[in-house]
Every structure is written in C-alpha cells, then in structure tokens.
Structure 1
Amino acid sequence: MSVKNFNIKGLSNEEVILSRRTHGENSIHLKEENHFLKAILKFVKDPMVLLLLFASTIYFISGELVNGFFLASSIVLISLISSYQNARSRNALAKLKEFTKPNCKVIRNGKTIEIKTEELVIGDSLLIEEGTSISADGTIIHSNDFSVNEAILTGESMSVTKDKSGTDNLVFQGTTVASGLAIATITAIGNETKLGKIGKSLEAITEEKTPLELQIGNFVKKMAIIGALVFGIVWVLNYFHSYNILDSLLKALTLAMSILPEEIPIAFTTFMALGAWRMMKEGIIVKQMKTVETLGSATVICIDKTGTITENTMSLAKVFALKSEKITDLETELNDDEKELISLSMWASEPMPFDPMEVAVHEAYSKFIKKDERSHFKMVHEYPLSGKPPMMTHIFGGKSGNRIIAAKGGAEAIMSMAKLSAKEKEQILATISSLSIEGYRVLAVGEAIFEGKNYPKTQQEFQLDFKGLLAFYDPPKKDIHLVLQHFYKAGISVKIITGDNAETTSSVAKQIGFIGYENSISGDDLMKLSDAEFKMKVAEINLFTRMFPEAKLLIINALKATGEIVAMTGDGVNDGPALKAAHIGIAMGKKGTEIAKQAASLILINDDLDKMVNAISMGRKIYANLKKAIQFIISIHIPIILTVFIPLALGWVYPNIFSPIHIIFLELIMGPTCSIVYENEPIEKNTMLQKPRLFTSTFFNWKELSTSIIQGLMITVGTLFLYQYAIYLGLTEATIRTMVFVVLVTANIFLTLVNRSFYYSIFTTLAYKNNLVSVIIGITIAITGLLLYVEPLTNFFGFEHLSISQLSMSIGIGFLAVIWYELVKLYKRVSTS
C-alpha cells in the first residue's frame, strides 16, 4: 500500500488538459441574472423617481420646459448614483462568494495535490475524507469505512455506507462525507452532475431579509403612506388658494418628495455589503449579510482549545508504556515497549493523516521504527471516531495473513475496554493527571486480538490490551491572552468548550489568563442535570471539558434561551449542529472541514481568533455608522418637510418658498453625504469598551429617534425664525428663499460633522481619518456658491444674490441650529468621567 496515494497514479497533466477541453469546467451555470433589466425595474418602481417623473411631466404640460428638463436630468443623475451604489454592493458580494468556494484533493501524476473545485475534470481521482464536501459525481475505486450524508439530494438525514464492491458505489456533488475516506473516479462535472441537473431549483431560492432590513422597509413604507396623505391634504389646500390644479399638484409633490426617505434602503445595502467586503480584506469571510448586523451584539463567544487558543502544531513529546511503568521523553532513547506503543498508535491513525496529532504520530513512527511496514499492510476495516470520550479502531491485514487491530482515543474509553488491575488503573490515572497538569494532551493506545472476519458491530465490543499513553504538546498561541482581554473589555464573556480533559484544558487556560479556569464541568456531568440546573451551570461555568456534539448543541441553545447572543468557533464535523445553532457560527478557514464551513456564517481565513475581535469591532462600527447615517437622514428631512408645510398650513406671506427643483437638489446633497461619508467613518475609540448592544435595539428606539427629531426641530426653528425675520425686514421672496436654502445647506454640513460622534466633540472627530468628509463638504460648498453667484443658475433656482450680512446671518443661524448638540455631548462626557 502506498501511504500517499494508494498506488493510484491519476491523470497526467496532458490528460487533464484534454479532459477539460473535451468536457469543460466543473461549475454549475445557472440562469444569468440580467442586472440591467433588474436595475430598470427597480428604478421604475422607486417612489422618488415616480414623483420626479410626475413633477417633470407637469412642468412640461405647464410650458416650463427648463424646470421639466432639470427634473428629468435629475432622474438620470439619481439613477446613476443608485446604480453606482448597487454595483459596489453587488461586486463586493460577488467577491465574497468567490472566496467561499471550497478546494478539493486529487491524485495526479501519482501525487496528491489540492486544487480549486472548478479545476476538477472528468477522469480525475478525487480523494474525499471525513468532513469534506464532494465536488463532483464519481465512482468509488477505493474506500475505508466510508459513509456519506446525501440529505441535499434525498432529504434523508442518515448517512449511507458505500464502497467500491457494493451496489451503491457512486458519490454525488454537494453531498458530504460523514466518515472514513474514499477515492472516486470523476464521471460527471458541472451541469451534468445530479445536483447540476436539478440546479433550476436553486434559482428559486431567495435570501431571507434580516430583522433590521424588514424594519427599514416598514419604516420607509410608513413614511410613503404619510407622504401620500400629506400630499392629498397639501394639494387640496393649495388648490383652494389658487384654483390652479397643475400648480397645486407641483406644490403638493414638493412636500411628498421631502417626506420620502429613499436614501435609507440604499444606505443599508451599501453599508452591509461594503462592510462585508472590508472584513474579507481583513481575512474574515462573511457568508450571510445578517451576520454583519449581529456581530456588534455578541455577548458570549464559545471557543475550542486546540487550534483556537493553541497553535495546533501538535508534537509527540512523551510516551508512557504500561509495561515499562515510566514516562519517557522522546528526546531520549526508547525501549522496545515504547517503540511498540508508537507503532500501534500509527496503525490506529489514518493512513493519510490530516489531524495534527496523527501527523505527529506518523512522524514519530518514521523516526523511531527502523523497518517501515506500512506498504505491507492494507486496511480491511475501520471504526470511525465515536463514543464518549471518543476513540477509533483500525484493522489492517498483512500479505502473510497476519492482522493488526489498533485503537486509540480518550484514556477513559480505552481503559474501559481493557482488563486492568487496581494498581495498573491507579498508575495510569496518576500518569494522566501528572501529564495533564503540565498541559499535555493525552491519548491512550490499545491492541486487540480477534480471529475471523465477522467483526463486532461497534469497536467498544473488542477486548483491548492497554499499551500505554501518548503525551502531545500544543503551545498556546502567541498573544492569545491579549485577544481574551479585548473580548473581556468589550463586555463579551468567553467560554472554552473542548473534547480534551479538565486538567490539560485548565492548565492551558491558566497560562493565557482565561477567567474561570478554576472551575470546569464535563459533558457527561452536564447531561445529568435538570433543565434549570443545566442553564444555571452554563451561565456560571466558563470551562467545559470532555464535550461531545449533543452537549455542545445544548450549551449553545441554553445560552440563547437566557438571552445571550452567541458566537461559536468550530472546525470539525461534530461542530456542525452547534455552529448552525449559534447566532454567529465561526469556522476555521485552514483546518476547518467543509461541513463546518457550510454550517458557519463566518469563516476566519487564517484561523486567527484575533480576527474575531476585528470582526466584532467592525460589526459594531458598521452598525454605529449606519445609525449615524439614518439619524442624519431623519434629522435633515424634518426641517425640509416643516419648512414646506408650516408656511402653507399657517398661511404665511410666501407659503410656497420651495419648488420640486429645490427639494431634489437638497436630496442630491443628502444622499452622498450619508451613504459615502458615514460608511467611510473609522471606528470610535470607545466602541470596543462598551457593552454589546441589545440585538432587539435598532436606530428606531425612542432614545435615538428623539435625538434625531430634536435635532431636526432645532434646525426647523432656526430656518423658520430666519424666514419670519426676513419677512419682517421686508425682503423679497427670492431673497428669503435664498437665505432659507443657505440655512438648510449650512445645517446639512455642520450636522454631518457633529453627528460623526454622539459622544466625542467636533474637535475630536475632525481628527478622524476620513478624506471623503472634506471632499463632500467642499463639493457642497462649491455647488452652493455657483447657485448663489452664477447668474443663469441663480435665476433658474429663483434665488437672489445675498449681501455679506445676509449670507453671514444665514450661515450663522444654520451653524447655531446644529452646534448646540455639542453641549449635550459635553454633558455626556462630564457625567461619565
């Protein structure tokens, strides 16, 4: 038996090229989405666009062609801005999807290599092992205790056993390996696979909207309904003032446009998609948009020990052979009993190891065993990892008819199947305790003697000869203690859930400054508790040892039931259910199985837990910036709405100070401000020192909404004060319109600056690194200057050149109407210091 490829050569490079040329690539081609048509349909259904079309049509009918053309061109400009934002979001999501595509292993030119699934061709020898997703259809040519979960095709959750000699010797794309290992010759790829042929059903799958997305949609719908009602009222009022149906329609449309907050959905989509893209550049793949929304709310993170807080660079450091009755360091000379122990541990490992401990065992075998017997034996039966604590057993047959039955796993499991004296048990337990306290991970090894081929149904039915213990060392990751401190400072509790024993885990936990390393509970002890006791223990204890899939899942559900927002890391097949159940399932990109990656909503590309700190930090930042954008939109809409409505409702001298062209210009200023400036804002320095926000809290809660309303009302007070004062001075309608417009633009600029933080002063936020702030504000000021002082534009908008005193008064009132909030922020800082 060849250890590397089971004597299978696979395709040559030339055969791969020929096969790809003949049969194509391994990708399922679904119906191409027509983004242009989709954008047109969305554009036509946009309420703001419909209002603009209606208004421009009225202008054309009334003979005001210039105004009509201006609004028509505004429609084009809005569509370009919207299309640009949608394209950014779509491209970001497309790149994310590209990164989540799995790789696969094939044997080519006699060597096992890893390739992208798209590069798989017909005739390839695909190597599939426990935890992987099968990349194409094929026929099994070699297998070891191989079973597959085909629920994606059949709906049946139970795994199906398969081998090359059975009637069911086919594997299918999209299914997952439940146990064992197999090599299959690829017979169908892409659209020709069984999954590809039913791929049409995938086109009907639509992404479910998140709670926040639904709330935003409902809010916009309600504002649209309010806008429609106010539109009707204002139309009637204007009509009875002028008895001009077209003029009254235009004035009513002006108010309707000012009420509709169409920037909010665009801001939400942009923030979430670009946020996910920014995370990917940091090494964090977000598979589901809702994860971005949930990240900032995480209150507890459940982590594994091996590979998460440790390096996952297992080295076999010490051995204990029961016959020798001593612990031996592998740096010294080994006796025959210790060599036999290492040899048996190798036979109990996978022939092609991918688990770090099994890799270490194979390396030790190559180093200490002079005669390599691996090519003279063939695996004839395999019992996959199972039991509590887990163990595995392999049966190998030699060419001369001799047989090896080797088992390894948790010491309790191997000991329960062996005949041991009281003294031997005491000695083994003392050795385990001694090694575990030093931080070693301990596995036991046993051997069975069995005649015949009717192997027991379960490995636990074997009678084992207890051979000894293996002690592996996996050092804690560098700076992992700093990662934990970041979680603690952010108000996030950390729990370790591991299959390792209490002593080893506690030792490592103590080294890294883990809170709660003193108290632990095992999976078996946890399962004996009542529901109420279970929830209490899960809340109190942070260290869970000797865990198994059922217990992991129950812990996650218990935490969720007590109101926690749970993040969980995982990499194995057995982690799948718990990863799926967690609010934020986190799979490891390097050592994670495909099943874990499929179940998770987020993947850490380099398996670095510190990236999870970055992810939570970024999640909080995205939510905070979106909240700022939404609050800005609400605040600036209020003065526009009331400036249009109040003079009309109260019968002021100039009841219709603004027309649709003024409103649409203000909308064009606000849109870029919120969706570009705030999306690019850096994280505030106190963000990761705050407690996680409640997941049910949104920007629509009263505290935040009231802040926006009060800010909007203060701008309204300033605007209407100037309105009345200008009337008192006897200024013309054009001059008053210009001054009111300048107040609103000034307030827009300073509100952008003030709302960059609802805690820190404007002097602090001016130092934030966001080049778009100066760019957007500069463009706004430049365009406003052109409108005020370039004659054709001034006349078109019905403005008047302002004197220095009039301009200063307008800018001053706009500034004061916003800057007062700095006093509120000062009070917040003083009261919390």
Structure 2
Amino acid sequence: MQQKSLSAVASNNFGIAGLSSGEVARARQKYGDNRLAYHKSNGFLDALKALAGEPMVILLLVASAIYLISGKTGDAVFLAVAIVLVSAISLYQDKKSRDALEKLKDYNQPVCKVIRDGRIIEINTGDLVKGDSIVAEEGTLIAADGVIVHSNDFAVNESLLTGESLPVYKDRSQSDNLIYRGTTVFSGLAIAEVTAIGNETRIGKIGKSLESIKEEKTPLEKQIGNFVKKMVLAGIVVFIIVWGINYTHSRNLLDSLLKALTLAMSILPEEIPVALTTFMALGAWRLMKMGIVVKQMKTVETLGSATVICVDKTGTITENRMTLAKLCAWPSKKVTDPGSGLGSDEKELVRTAMWASEPIPFDPMEIALHDAYERQATGDERPGYRMIHEYPLGGKPPMMTHLFENDKHVRIIAAKGAPEALMAVSDLTAAEKEQVMDIVKKMSQDGCRVLGVAETSFEGDGFPVEQQQFHFQFRGLVAFYDPPKKNIKSVLEGFYTAGIAVKIITGDNATTTTAIAKEIGFKGYEKSMTGDDLMRLPEDEIRAKAAGTNIFSRMFPDAKLKIINALKAGTEIVAMTGDGVNDGPALKAAHIGIAMGKKGTEIAKQAASLILLEDDLSKMLDAVAIGRKIYANLKKAIQYIISIHIPIILTVFIPLALGWVYPNIFSPVHVIFLELIMGPTCSIAYENEPMEKHIMRQKPRPFASTFFNWKELAISVMQGLAITAGTLAVYRYSVYQGFGEAHTRSMVFTTLITANVMLTLVNRSFYYSVVATLKYRNDMIFYIIILTIAITATLIFVKIAANFFSFEALNLSGLLICIFAGSLSVIWYEAVKWRNRVKSR
C-alpha cells in the first residue's frame, strides 16, 4: 500500500483526527477495499479462446487430421506438437503483454489525501476504507462516496452522474451534503467521511455499463488488420487454385488438400498482429521503468510522430522552487531585497501576502510567503485565526482572496494575483497604476514572477458572489524567482534536433517568460502573445499565430484549448504538458497530454494520456525516442515477415504451377518449421533491438502515413523476390545435377534458412551496414540464430530427423553452395544501404 506523509500538510488544523491504524485494518477486513470489481476476466483462458480461432491453428488442425486419416501418424503427431509450440509461443508473448499492462495499471493508480491518526497522508485511492476522512480539494478527483463534515467555498462538478456541467456548491449544513466517487472538485476544500466504497458507491452501482465499452482501434491497428485480412483472402483464393491443380494431376482428394494447405499456411502473416501487441505492451512497460506512465496504449504509437510540444514555464522549464526575491511596499514604491532588514511597510506587505495564501500551503510561492512571514513576524497570528470564506483563483487575469476571522470576530481579508487584476479592483489612480506597471516590468525583466497584493474589510456574512466586487486597498508587489532547470538547455536542443517545435504556454506575464526563455536559449523568445489578444482573433488568424508564435503568456483555459486545436487543425501532432485544473481541457484535446506526477492535480492526470513521475521534461524526450524506436523496430519486424513469406509462398507455388519435376518440394511440416522460426524472430528478437543512433536526428514521421507505404513495401518485395531467385536457382541446380527429391529439398530448405538468418541480420537497420549492427547489444538475435542453425543441422544430418522430414544429408560443396546462394540473395541490399549513406552525407 502506498502511504506517504505530506511534509507541507503533515498536521491538520481541521480538528479532525480520522481513523487510527487499527480502525483502518478492522474496516478493511469488514468492508473490503475501495476497488471496482465486476467481470473477472481470465487472461489465460481468453488468450486460449482467441488462439483457437487463429487461421494458422485451424489450418494445422486440419492438416494434422488429414495426415491421421491418410495413415501418416508421424506427420500428424508432428503437426500436433507444432500446434502446441505455436500456441506456447503465442501464449508466452500474450502473457508478457498482459504482465506489462497489469504493472502499468498498478503504477497508474490515482492517489488521494486522507486524515489518519490526526495527520494528512497520501494513499492510493484503492486503499481507502469506509469511515475514512478524505480531503477533497480543488483539482482532485473524489475517490469514494461520503458526507461533508467540513468545507470552505466547496463546489463539485457532477456531470459524470447528472450530465449537468455547472458546478454544484455544497456544505455540511445543506440537505445535499454528499459527495460521489468519480466527480471532480471545482473549487474550495472539504473534509468528508467515507460512507461507501468500491461497488457500493453510486458510480460503482451503475458501472456495469463500463464493461461493454471497447477502446477504439488506432490507425496502425486498422492498417495491420486490413493487411492481414487481404492476405487471408489471397490465401483462400490461392488455396482453391492449388487444390484444383493438384487434384487435376493426382485425383487424390486428401493429398491435394494437404498440398493446398501448405501454400495457405505460407501466405498467412499471423505473426504481424502478435508483433504489434507485443511491441506496444512491452514498450509501455519499458517507459514505466523509466518513470513515464502510459495510460493508453495508443500513446506509444503516437509518441514518435509528435511535431510540437507545448510546455508550461513554472515547474517544467523552471525548478518550481520559488524564492521571494523582491518586495515593493505601497505607497513608498521602494523595491527592496527581503534578505535585508525590512521596514514596517515591507513586513506588513509580507503579512498580507501570507494571509492571501492557503492556510496549508502547497504552491511554491505560498510556501515561500509563509516562510518569509515566519522569519519576520514577532508573534505568529496564524493559530488564532480560521478561514471563514475563500475565493479560488479566477478571473482574467486571475486573482484569489481569503477571509479569516479570530474568536474576537476580527477579520482579515487579503488578496493576491496578477498585478493587473489587483489594480483593476483597488483604489489606485491612473498615474499610480502606470507606476506599478513600470515596477512590474523592471522586476519581470530579471526573470521574476510578480504578484500584486491587496487588502480590504467587510462587515456581515453576505459576502459578494465574486471577489472582484470587493473594493481593495493596494498594498504592493511581491516578486519570486524560479531558476531554470539545469538540464533544460540540453532538453530543448534535443527537441530541436529531433525536428520537434517547442512552445511555451504560461499564465505568467510576457516579460518574465521572455527573460527566462532568453536565458535558456529558447527559439522564438523575441515574439509573444497574450491569451486575450489571441481570443480576439478570427479562427483562420489563430491558426497562423499558433504556428508562428512560440511564447503565449497570460493564458487561461479557453485560450490554451484554442492553441491546441489550432495546431491540430494545421496537421501538427501536438504534445502538451500541464499540471493544474485549468490545463485539463487542453491536455484532453492534445494528441499526447502529459501530466506532471509530483505537482500535477488529479484532474490533470486523469485528462492526460501520459504521466512524468519526476516532473522532468527530459523524460518526454526519452519517451519520444522510445516511441520512435518501437515504431522503427516494429517496421523492421513486419518488413522481415513480408520478405521471408514471399520466398516460402513462391517456392511452394512456382514448381507446382510450372510443372517442375518435384512440384511439391515442401509439405506442411516444412512450412510450420519455418513459421516456428519466424514468430520469435519478429516479435522477440526485433523487439529487443536498441535504438539506432540517427533516429533522434530525423524529422517526426507523418502520423497519417500508412505503415505499408509503397516504397517500404517495395523493399520487402524486392528482398523476398531476390531470396526466391536464390532458392529456386539452387532448386534448378540440384535437378540439373541429377539429385533426387530429398537431396533437392535439403538444398532448397538450407538455402532458405541461410537467407532467413542473413535477412534477420541485414534488416536490423535499413541505413547502417550489417558490420555496424553486429555491435548492437541484443543477445536475443544471436540466441535465435544459433538455435535455428542447430535445429536445421539436426534435421538434415541426423538420420532419424532427416527421414521424417524427407531430407538427405548434404556434402560440404552442396552445403557451401546453399550458404553462398542464401547469403547472396540477401547481402545485395548492403549496397543499397551504402548508396543511401553516401547520398545522406
């Protein structure tokens, strides 16, 4: 169970102790955990059912039955064993995929805050028990049903249950004082006692319908599915033709059926869907090990195509380690360093700014203000006051207000936010506002983030609906400095080298953002645009501005969403980082929504498709690299499958169609042996291939481009035809030399195996030479090659195996001819790669 004490909120001032450890254990034993459990699927049985419907397995069963009927018990048993081996390989790959996905599910559990033993801790939502006291605050997803026992300006979005998108304000004194699992906190804070967990929650009781929802297939899955369907149809047509030809010649129904099945087996590329599932699942697992949690499998496919990444400034480009850098108390207008001795005006400014913050701070700026207050205050006033009302961050530009009161009914009403927002609701003259903006500009030019601070008074309990309706007295400015992350320059350079544009979308002002951007070598820091300016533009101009501008300041949710949609409309594949409630819509809209694991709200994490556990943008660069590697390796695997299937098909078909002396050189037992080699090679060996060094210097691949484009398909076809030429040349040579059918079969089979081994090595890169790729670290390739050679040698040179497969041992010269022909039929592609390298230089 994940259980983490939060240093900033380790103790609570709500007067609620929560459950003790013993009470938690008893509640768990009595009521269970907070997990939804409906249909329990058995992954192994589901995989077996799917396997039973695979065309290759069906063909093997039919062939085995025909052998048995024909009295060829040995062949029948071999094919039955082959069925077991094919099934074992498929089930092993399926298990690897399922295990990887299960680990991702465990890693991706949402968390919540709960009061236990008088302390606020963070736990996995699944570990909540009935009776727990959960802390529901702005931006979080409510983890269980409960009844409110304490709240401040608390509102929830219950559209998941009601369809109504407007927030619902709730309080313990209202008749509707319940909160429900799956709803989101719109504003404020509440403590609620959990009344229902898991399937007993309101969403749990109606959750059965969630089982019927199936995830939509990705473009790549659709392309591969269509390709396999076409090959199956082609297999059926060729099967009928070959059956007809053989039956015409032999008038033997079962024998002709077997020979037709041989060709049908050679056509089916059943390894391709298995390879896709394996690559994507294991890719997601590898990303998880790097601290990148992928919530949706299709994200792995999309990563390599990202063309633009939109990032926040605070916490993404900068450390999110705010220090109070400068103060300017009003009306003295004097800018001072908080490290030096503070006058009474400056002390009062710090005090007001602290009261404008959350009483339990979690934002770095608010933590800095509380620290500054503690250092300069002669006596701590905080224990004597309680928050009676709050206005969350809101407005354009944004501000927030907090109201506190002590036992003597003395009130403090303090606000902070964007200087422009505070000036608009304060008592400043036009000239004074101009002076404030001059000071803000000077502070911002040093890379500081500047907030305005104000104070007011109010009698009675009929608080205004909006905080902007108060009339404030402007108290001054506080400036914070958040240093850039040490690795950010190299991260940006990595994105630029990979052909990925970077845009900054921030709520901070343009001057501060530009100063930081210039410091880190950000491209396009000279030009910026505010959210308000963007929203005033017509749609077609927004697209042009989104493409041509790299810094967007003073942004709000609608404006962020506009930029993401404008970039998408311009055919960009958009990634976006975010951590706040306001980032939710844009994160959801982006092709790749990236939430921060540490400082990200639960809303941001739910909306995103990917979570960076360490809030480190360099991990996103790693994720793009992994995405590109997976796509490149999957492409190698599929091109290998196509290339090696062609000679198997043609070596079976051409001698039959042209009436050669040995028309049926391969039987089902030979084809299934080749299939047993190809399966692990494509989906295990190639999946382990390391990333090629040039892959992050290439431009992103167009996401809409077909996986089977004609250029790459032509390469595979040419390789397949070349191997066919080599194999059939050896066939003709053997016949010319007067060798018998068994000897010819041995030579053809050895040539094809040699070509397969060479193709495995040559296709490890379509750019670098085979000599260079031999240095790649991938033991699986060599294990499979050694095993293939060893088994082939056994089949040909061990008499009992040779008799079963109708082979004949080859002498040294025959063996060398096969190795030469098989190698030459593949190694020619090295010349093409050499020419491409020369052209690229």
TM-score range, shorter chain: over 0.9
> What does the per-residue CA deviation read over 1:345-400, in whole Å, with 9 as the maximum and x for residues that have no partner?
12211122211111111222222222222222222221111111111111222221
Q: Tell me if the contact between 2:115 and 2:121 (Cα under 8 Å) persists in the aligned partners.
A: yes
Amino acid at match of 2:761: L
Q: Tell me if the contact between 2:10 and 2:119 (Cα under 8 Å) persists in the aligned partners.
A: no
* Partner residue in 2 for 1:206: 214
* 1:281 CA drift (Å): 0.3
* Partner residue in 2 for 1:144: 152
Q: Tell me if the contact between 2:142 and 2:181 (Cα under 8 Å) persists in the aligned partners.
A: yes
* Partner residue in 1 for 2:369: 361
The answer on 1:805 being equivalent to 2:813 is: yes
User: For the residues of structure 1 that align with 2:567 and 2:199, how far apart are their CA atoms?
Assistant: 42
* Partner residue in 2 for 1:176: 184
How is 1:234-249 mapped onto 2 (pairs within 5 angstroms)? 234-249=242-257
User: Which of 147, 167, 187 is the matching residue for 1:159?
Assistant: 167
* Partner residue in 2 for 1:572: 580
User: For the residues of structure 2 that align with 1:33 and 1:132, how far apart are their CA atoms?
Assistant: 30
Amino acid at match of 2:707: F
* 1:464 CA drift (Å): 1.0
SS in structure 1 at match of 2:624: helix
User: Which of 489, 506, 515 is the matching residue for 2:497?
Assistant: 489
* Partner residue in 2 for 1:61: 69
* Partner residue in 1 for 2:785: 777
How is 1:25-104 mapped onto 2 (pairs within 5 angstroms)? 25-104=33-112
User: For the residues of structure 2 that align with 1:679 and 1:452, how far apart are their CA atoms?
Assistant: 69
User: For the residues of structure 2 that align with 1:684 and 1:285, how far apart are their CA atoms?
Assistant: 23
* 1:16 CA drift (Å): 1.8
User: Which of 632, 640, 647 is the matching residue for 1:632?
Assistant: 640
The answer on 1:189 being equivalent to 2:197 is: yes
How is 1:521-600 mapped onto 2 (pairs within 5 angstroms)? 521-600=529-608
* 1:2 CA drift (Å): 12
* 1:661 CA drift (Å): 0.3
> What does the per-residue CA deviation read over 1:417-468, in whole Å, with 9 as the maximum and x for residues that have no partner?
1121233223211110111000110010111222222222111111111111
SS in structure 2 at match of 1:679: helix
Q: Tell me if the contact between 1:506 and 1:517 (Cα under 8 Å) persists in the aligned partners.
A: yes
The answer on 1:337 being equivalent to 2:345 is: yes
The answer on 1:702 being equivalent to 2:710 is: yes
Amino acid at match of 1:659: S
SS in structure 2 at match of 1:757: coil
SS in structure 1 at match of 2:623: helix
* Partner residue in 1 for 2:383: 375
Q: Tell me if the contact between 2:11 and 2:119 (Cα under 8 Å) persists in the aligned partners.
A: no
Q: Tell me if the contact between 2:655 and 2:664 (Cα under 8 Å) persists in the aligned partners.
A: yes
Task: Give the share of equivalent positions with the same residue, in percent.
Answer: 65
* Partner residue in 2 for 1:395: 403
The answer on 1:681 being equivalent to 2:711 is: no
User: For the residues of structure 2 that align with 1:599 and 1:590, how far apart are their CA atoms?
Assistant: 15
> What does the per-residue CA deviation read over 1:715-758, in whole Å, with 9 as the maximum and x for residues that have no partner?
01111111112111111111111100001100000000000000
How is 1:228-307 mapped onto 2 (pairs within 5 angstroms)? 228-307=236-315
Residues 661 and 201 of structure 1, relative CA distance in 2, 3 Å threshold: same
> What does the per-residue CA deviation read over 1:120-166, in whole Å, with 9 as the maximum and x for residues that have no partner?
22221111111111111111111111111122222222221111111
Amino acid at match of 1:614: D
The answer on 1:623 being equivalent to 2:631 is: yes
SS in structure 2 at match of 1:792: helix
* Partner residue in 2 for 1:328: 336
Amino acid at match of 2:401: T
The answer on 1:451 being equivalent to 2:451 is: no
Q: Tell me if the contact between 1:5 and 1:107 (Cα under 8 Å) persists in the aligned partners.
A: no
Unaligned ranges ≥5, structure 1: none
Amino acid at match of 1:16: V
User: For the residues of structure 1 that align with 2:41 and 2:149, how far apart are their CA atoms?
Assistant: 39
SS in structure 1 at match of 2:687: coil
* Partner residue in 1 for 2:442: 434
* Partner residue in 1 for 2:17: 9
SS in structure 1 at match of 2:16: coil
Amino acid at match of 1:279: L
Q: Tell me if the contact between 2:135 and 2:192 (Cα under 8 Å) persists in the aligned partners.
A: yes
Residues 764 and 3 of structure 1, relative CA distance in 2, 3 Å threshold: closer
The answer on 1:423 being equivalent to 2:450 is: no
User: For the residues of structure 1 that align with 2:729 and 2:403, how far apart are their CA atoms?
Assistant: 90
* Partner residue in 1 for 2:831: 823
User: For the residues of structure 2 that align with 1:122 and 1:40, how far apart are their CA atoms?
Assistant: 39
Residues 669 and 223 of structure 1, relative CA distance in 2, 3 Å threshold: same
Amino acid at match of 1:218: N
The answer on 1:724 being equivalent to 2:702 is: no
Amino acid at match of 1:438: D
SS in structure 2 at match of 1:691: coil
Amino acid at match of 2:733: Y
Residues 3 and 266 of structure 1, relative CA distance in 2, 3 Å threshold: closer
User: For the residues of structure 2 that align with 1:677 and 1:14, how far apart are their CA atoms?
Assistant: 51
* 1:3 CA drift (Å): 7.6
User: For the residues of structure 1 that align with 2:266 and 2:807, how far apart are their CA atoms?
Assistant: 20
* Partner residue in 1 for 2:622: 614
Scaled by the length of structure 1, what TM-score is found? 0.99
Amino acid at match of 1:102: P
* 1:4 CA drift (Å): 2.4
SS in structure 1 at match of 2:272: helix
* 1:668 CA drift (Å): 0.4
SS in structure 2 at match of 1:279: helix
* 1:199 CA drift (Å): 2.4
* 1:183 CA drift (Å): 0.6
Q: Tell me if the contact between 2:320 and 2:482 (Cα under 8 Å) persists in the aligned partners.
A: yes
* Partner residue in 2 for 1:121: 129
User: For the residues of structure 1 that align with 2:105 and 2:10, how far apart are their CA atoms?
Assistant: 37
SS in structure 2 at match of 1:177: strand
> What does the per-residue CA deviation read over 1:203-230, in whole Å, with 9 as the maximum and x for residues that have no partner?
2222221110111111111100110010
Q: Tell me if the contact between 1:316 and 1:361 (Cα under 8 Å) persists in the aligned partners.
A: yes
Amino acid at match of 1:52: L
Amino acid at match of 1:23: Y
Q: Tell me if the contact between 2:35 and 2:126 (Cα under 8 Å) persists in the aligned partners.
A: yes
User: For the residues of structure 1 that align with 2:575 and 2:225, how far apart are their CA atoms?
Assistant: 27
* 1:103 CA drift (Å): 1.6
SS in structure 1 at match of 2:692: coil
* 1:75 CA drift (Å): 0.5
Amino acid at match of 2:45: L
User: For the residues of structure 1 that align with 2:128 and 2:355, how far apart are their CA atoms?
Assistant: 31
Q: Tell me if the contact between 1:315 and 1:360 (Cα under 8 Å) persists in the aligned partners.
A: yes
User: For the residues of structure 1 that align with 2:202 and 2:691, how far apart are their CA atoms?
Assistant: 47
Q: Tell me if the contact between 2:11 and 2:118 (Cα under 8 Å) persists in the aligned partners.
A: no
Scaled by the length of structure 2, what TM-score is found? 0.98
Deviates most, 53-62 or 377-386 = 377-386
State the aligned residue count: 833
User: Which of 515, 522, 525 is the matching residue for 2:523?
Assistant: 515
The answer on 1:750 being equivalent to 2:724 is: no
Q: Tell me if the contact between 2:158 and 2:183 (Cα under 8 Å) persists in the aligned partners.
A: yes
Q: Tell me if the contact between 2:637 and 2:683 (Cα under 8 Å) persists in the aligned partners.
A: yes
Q: Tell me if the contact between 1:11 and 1:123 (Cα under 8 Å) persists in the aligned partners.
A: yes
Q: Tell me if the contact between 1:141 and 1:182 (Cα under 8 Å) persists in the aligned partners.
A: yes
* Partner residue in 1 for 2:477: 469
User: For the residues of structure 2 that align with 1:14 and 1:96, how far apart are their CA atoms?
Assistant: 31
* 1:615 CA drift (Å): 0.1
Amino acid at match of 2:490: L
* 1:232 CA drift (Å): 0.3
Q: Please give the root-mean-square deviation of Cα atoms over the aligned residues, in Å.
A: 1.2
